[in-house]
Amino acid sequence: MNNNLSYRLSALLFALALCLPGLQAQDLPGGEVDVIKSFDARLLDADKINIRPELPPLDTITKLQTYSALNKTLEVDYLPPQIRPLAMLRDGVPQSYNGFLKVGAGLPNAFYGEGSYYITTVKNLDFGINARHFSANNNKKVENQRFSETYGAVDGTYYFDQGFAVNGKMKYNRDAVYFYGYNKLNEQLDTNQTPYSFEPEEIKQRFNIIDASGSIFNGERTEADFNYFAGVDAYLMRDNYAARENGLKLTLDATKWFRNSDPLQIKLITDFTSFKNSEKQTLNNFYLQPSYTYHADRFKVKVGLNVTSHEDDFSFFPDIEASANIIEGLIGAYVGAGGDLKKNTFRSLSDYNPYIESKVDLENTRYYHFYGGVKGNFKGVDYDAQIGYKTTENLALFVISDFMDSIPRFDAIYDSVDIFLFKASLSAPIFKGFELMGSVSQSIFSPQREEKAWHLPTLSVNATARYTTPDQNIRFTGEFFLENGVSYKAADGTAKNLNALFDISAGVEYFFTENIGGFVQLNNLANNRRQRWQNYPTFGLNALIGVSARF
């Protein structure tokens, strides 16, 4: 069987060998193609079909369409705007000077000198000195109508690196007045009577006062927003008639700030006064004054108390004020209540009335004050108007001490007086360099025992206009003063009125170089001879002319 299979395979291979030469002979010759017949493509005949399009019939029926649009707020993210500074021209900073000096003379027989200098070049130190003298002598028209005022002071503060500061002050006043009121008495004498006449030293009154004070306080903001102050003030006073007065005041003050705007304050004051002429008097007061002030966006409220003590007699006074902005920056309103225990010392009484006796009674004036008002700014004009009511005990009034004395002097008497008052003030920068300021005050006094509030003015009006050129070299000043004639107690006990004050003054100062200038001042152009104090007429027209320097 295997042999048959071998014969079959051999026969098959032989047959294939015979076919291979024939297959190779069928290859087409290279590069030659014979086309036997062209291809002819034909379409069968067909019939053309024509179609004409037609529009659908128009719909002429009117239909009401209702649209409903839903509101939707789209949140759009904007990039924050870029605010760039806009350069603007600024007013030039006025030239500052460390010192100034003014010296002048005038009528009647007047001399004036004033100067000051401040040291600013020493690190952590503020130090200044100033002095002033003014005197005039109208003896040619009114015998012994003259005065002299001399003042000098030094003031220094040193700021330590540890955050606290120390201040010290020394002041000296030497004022001289003359009791020339006898000249008015001469006008009342009969022709056969000898008029009064005195040498200047016989009627001279001189007040010498030395002040000294020292204090320590925080010179910069503390981390706890806590401010502190401790100070002592003392003075010694002497006059030509052997009167002596000493004063000592100690003050402790602590303030804690909340939210950088709301202070909680506690102040403690002890005030000692000793006066001696023919007999010794003392007037010692103690004060405790706590308060808290709250600031909001449109209102402010202060709540406090003033507790006073004199000879173990305690008094409690309110210290309350509330204010609110009605129209921001335009108008605000405020109401308040206050009160205090105010000393009437020989110094304060002679400050107010220099023709007072050297023997006076020292008393405390106790008062309560209730007030309300409006203030704000209207078109650049700052204004403040207030009405109020005061109740006072032991208010000082002034009367002639002895009508039989040839040298008129005053004594202080005390009465309880109710006072209704109105006052207003304004400040208006009319244009660059020109400023107008004014104030008015009206008081209605109701004494309990006395017929009138002797020698206290009821109406006062003053106005000031000031213009300074842009180069700061020329300054013009005008002033106006008006005051009613005060009531006085005549020798027969009746009430009379003195003449009123009407005073107009004008002045100009011109620097003709950078540091040297001159000034002219004319006072009482109306030549008003008003008596502020009974029998003591004021100077009439007077003037000063001089030179000034700044350095």
Q: Which residues, 6+ apart, have CB-to-CB distance to 504 below 8 Å? A: 478, 479, 480, 481, 524, 525, 526
Question: What's the mean pLDDT in 525-534?
Answer: 95
Which pLDDT score, from 0 to 100, does residue 4 have? 52
- Helical residues (DSSP H) of 318-471, grouped into ranges: 346-352
Among candidates 212, 207, 110, 127, which has minimal Cα distance to 165?
A: 127
Q: How confident is the model at residue 538 (pLDDT cuts 50, 70, 90)?
A: very high
Look at residue 381 and tell me whether its pLDDT is greater than 50.
Answer: yes
Which pLDDT score, from 0 to 100, does residue 132 have? 98
State which of 122-126, 151-155, 489-493 shows the largest mean pLDDT: 151-155
- In order of start, what are the domains of the chain with their CATH numbers? 104-245+276-287+304-550 (2.40.170.20)
Q: What is the pLDDT of residues 409-447, one digit of tens each?
A: 999 999 999 999 999 999 999 899 999 999 999 999 999
Q: What is the pLDDT of residues 456-467, one digit of tens each?
A: 999 999 999 999
Average model confidence (pLDDT) for the chain?
A: 89
Q: Minimum mean pLDDT among 11-15, 99-103, 454-458: which range?
A: 11-15
Look at residue 24 and tell me whether its pLDDT is greater than 50.
Answer: no
Two tokens, residue 37: 């017949």
Q: How many residues does the chain have?
A: 551
Look at residue 40 and tell me whether its pLDDT is greater than 70.
Answer: no
Residue 125: how many CA atoms within 13 Å on its side-chain side? 10
* Residue 275 contacts residue 283 (beta carbons within 8 Å): yes
Which pLDDT score, from 0 to 100, does residue 9 have? 54
Which pLDDT score, from 0 to 100, does residue 313 have? 94
CB burial of residue 227 (10 Å; 0-12, 13-18, 19+):
middle
Look at residue 368 and tell me whether its pLDDT is greater than 80.
Answer: yes
Question: What's the mean pLDDT in 333-352?
Answer: 98
Which pLDDT score, from 0 to 100, does residue 112 have? 98
Look at residue 206 and tell me whether its pLDDT is greater than 50.
Answer: yes
Distance CA(26)–CA(519), nearest Å, equals 142
Q: What is the pLDDT of residues 299-322, one digit of tens each?
A: 999 999 999 999 999 999 999 999
* Residue 489 contacts residue 399 (beta carbons within 8 Å): yes
Q: What is the pLDDT of residues 225-235, one digit of tens each?
A: 999 999 999 99
Q: Which residues, 6+ apart, have CB-to-CB distance to 304 below 8 Å? A: 265, 289, 290, 291, 292, 318, 319, 320
Which pLDDT score, from 0 to 100, does residue 49 have? 66
Partners of 170 in beta bridges: 154, 212
Q: What is the pLDDT of residues 247-292, one digit of tens each?
A: 999 999 999 999 989 999 999 999 999 999 989 999 999 999 999 9
Q: Minimum mean pLDDT among 22-26, 80-84, 100-104: which range?
A: 22-26
Look at residue 473 and tell me whether its pLDDT is greater than 70.
Answer: yes
Q: Which residues, 6+ apart, have CB-to-CB distance to 16 below 8 Å? A: none
Which pLDDT score, from 0 to 100, does residue 93 have? 59
Which pLDDT score, from 0 to 100, does residue 329 have? 79
Look at residue 48 and tell me whether its pLDDT is greater than 80.
Answer: no
Distance CA(35)–CA(446), nearest Å, equals 149
Which pLDDT score, from 0 to 100, does residue 191 have? 77
What are the CA-CA distances from residue 2 to residues 5, 13, 56 (Å)?
5, 17, 91
Which pLDDT score, from 0 to 100, does residue 11 have? 54
Look at residue 83 and tell me whether its pLDDT is greater than 80.
Answer: no
* Residue 519 contacts residue 430 (beta carbons within 8 Å): no
Question: What's the mean pLDDT in 543-548?
Answer: 98
Distance CA(447)–CA(495), nearest Å, equals 13
Which pLDDT score, from 0 to 100, does residue 278 have? 86
Please state, for a pLDDT cut of 70, what percent of the chain lies above it: 83
Q: Which residues, 6+ apart, have CB-to-CB distance to 17 below 8 Å? A: none
Which pLDDT score, from 0 to 100, does residue 28 have? 46
Which pLDDT score, from 0 to 100, does residue 223 have? 86
Which pLDDT score, from 0 to 100, does residue 19 have? 47
Look at residue 394 and tell me whether its pLDDT is greater than 60.
Answer: yes
Which pLDDT score, from 0 to 100, does residue 193 have? 87
Which pLDDT score, from 0 to 100, does residue 328 have? 84
